[in-house]
Amino acid sequence: MPVTTWVPLMMFPILFGLSMDYEVFLVSRIRESYESGVPTREAVARGLAGTARVITAAAAIMVMVFLSVLLGANIAVKQIGLGLGVAILIDATVVRMVLVPALMELFGERNWWLPGPIARLLPRRRPEAAEARTGVPVRG
């Protein structure tokens, strides 16, 4: 059976949105650890340890929900369910739990580099506020 024409058009935006949720959740935890004065390598380990169970559980639930549509009769719905289920499984396990942390450790301090024009547009963070909140000195 050929793939229905609208299935890829619907899958890619949905997958992009779901994978960005995982990415923002993971990287924001890593960034929080880094801003509290922890070296990048340890910040990645802490961020991954703090989010791995939640990301894995959410992905497992979504995979099961998407794969449950395989029990229906509509071929197009089966195709999108199978595609989303497999893609979420790969994205959550391989990409978010292996590749992203590995690359962030390899890049080290370069993870946090921001081009000058963009840095000027964004508001400055206040290290003293983070230090008062956590009690740990923050890099300036």
- pLDDT digit string, tens, across residues 105-114: 999 999 988 8
State the Cα–Cα distance between residues 107 and 91, nearest whole angstrom: 21
Q: In the prediction, which pLDDT does 112 show? A: 87
pTM of the model: 0.77
State the Cα–Cα distance between residues 33 and 11, nearest whole angstrom: 34
Average pLDDT, the chain: 87
DSSP 36: T
61 Cβ neighbours under 8 A, 6+ residues apart = none
3 state SS of 38: coil
Question: Which of 44, 52, 47 minimizes the C-alpha distance to 102?
Answer: 44
Q: How far is CA 86 from the centre of its chain?
A: 17
Question: Which of 92, 66, 88, 90 minimizes the C-alpha distance to 78?
Answer: 66
Mean pLDDT over residues 75-104, rounded? 93
Looking at per-residue pLDDT, the higher value among 68 and 4 belongs to 68
Range with lowest mean pLDDT among 16-30, 51-65, 93-107: 16-30
Q: What is the pLDDT of residues 1-47, one digit of tens each?
A: 788 888 999 999 999 988 888 889 999 999 999 988 899 999 999 99
DSSP 3: P
